[in-house]
Amino acid sequence: MNEHNNLAHSESDETVSTPLQQMSLVDILDGMFNLYRSHFRLFLGIVVIYLVFGFVLNLISVSVIMGATSVPNVMIITVLTTMASVLFAYWIGWGLVYASTQVYLGRDITSQASLKQASGNYFRLLGSTFLYYLVVVCLSITIIGIPFAIYFAFRWAFFAFPVLYEGTTARNALRRSTELVKGTWWRVCGIMIAISLIAFMIMFILQTSYGMIFSAFIGNTGAEGANLYQTLLRLFAPSPNDVGWGFYIIHTLGSLIIAGFIMPIGTIGYALLYFDLRIRKEAFDIERMAADVETNREALPSEE
């Protein structure tokens, strides 16, 4: 299969250092943490932008909302800040997707190059995302459609990889994901759920531990007589009115750091599953080995 990614062509002189082979769930999970550990600085360089932007946007939105005098103004501010946060998070997530594909193939890549690749394909990816959620959400409206929504949610789950790595279009990205998942839907579903659960559990444990330490540090002022909902809200999402601006800033920054730390885990796991599907269905490992042999042959000095 032809690769349409320009950067992939420009870096064709680099050899693949990561073994390309079929992977089980254990192999994917092991590779997920190994790649994250060995390329931690790369992924940190991407998510740190998310941390800075998310922190600033959160402080601005909370301060404006607290100063708002009417409910419509609060709703407008909430909608605008949420949209900005989601659109920015997509950009960061797609940068992580591209970085994951490159490190798996053993290529040198920088955080800036990964985000630049995501920027260049942003609107195509946004188009694929719109089509993805349009179908999944519409099917989820009725009880009868929920099983179909779940089916298409996993069937089209890899749409970002063909756009970023193969250079396909927004609509063809969904078709390409279908080709890869076809015949292995249950396996893909199980592995993706396992990856998501592991990332969620790590996030939950870290956030809960941080929230408990934070609550113990600031004391229980104002928490007497609070119900369960108020207690959980104070633990995970306190407001400046609850803890004061100083402690609120500390809590928000700590929560964002934990979220940013967890972000790459699932993305790397999905990237490994994407390549595993290509190896199983398209002999991608043989294709890459042939490309490497050809590259090495061209690199040899010609005999006169």
Domain ranges of the chain: 21-282
Q: Which percentage of the chain shows pLDDT scores above 90?
A: 53
pLDDT score for 14: 39
Q: How large a percentage of the chain has pLDDT more than 70? A: 82
Flag whether the pTM goes above 0.85.
no
Average pLDDT along the chain: 84
* Least confident residue range of 1-15, 129-143, 153-167: 1-15
Q: What is the rounded average pLDDT of the residues 116-129?
A: 94
Q: What is the pLDDT of residues 123-148, one digit of tens each?
A: 999 999 999 999 999 999 989 999 99
Quick count: other Cβ atoms within 10 Å of Cβ 47? Answer: 23
Six-digit token string for 86: 């989601």
DSSP 15: P
pLDDT of residue 276: 94
Taking every pair of C-alpha atoms in the chain, what is the biggest distance, in angstroms?
89
Sequence-separated (6 or more) residues with CB below 8 Å from residue 199 = 262, 265, 266, 269
- Reported for 250-259, long-range contacts at CB under 8 A and 24+ positions apart, including other chains, are 250/214, 251/214, 252/55, 252/58, 252/59, 253/55, 254/210, 254/214, 255/207, 255/210, 256/50, 256/51, 256/54, 256/55, 256/58, 257/51, 258/203, 258/206, 258/207, 258/210, 259/203
Helices 240-282 and 170-181 meet at what angle, rounded to 10?
Answer: 70
CA-based torsion, 202, 93, 9, 111: positive or negative: negative
